Structure 1
Amino acid sequence: MPIARFSFLLCLILAVPVQAEIYKYVDENGQVTFTDVYRKGAKRIELPGAPAPLPNRDKAPRRASYNPSPADFPRIDASTQKRRDDIRRQVLQDEISGERRNADDARRQLALGERLQPGERATDATYLNRVKKLRASVQQHEQNVASIQRELANLK
Structure 2
Amino acid sequence: MAEPVRLELPTGVRRLRRLPDSGLGFLGLDPLTQNDQWLLNRLTSMRATLYDTERGTLVGCAPNPANPRQARVAVAADDSAALTALLALVRATAGYTSFTAVACASDAGLPALLDCGFREVGTLRGHVLRAGAYLDAGVYYAADDDLRPHPQPTPHA
Question: What is the TM-score of this pair, normalised by structure 1?
Answer: 0.22
Structure with higher strand content: 2
The higher relative CO (CA closer than 8 Å, separation ≥ 6) is in: 1
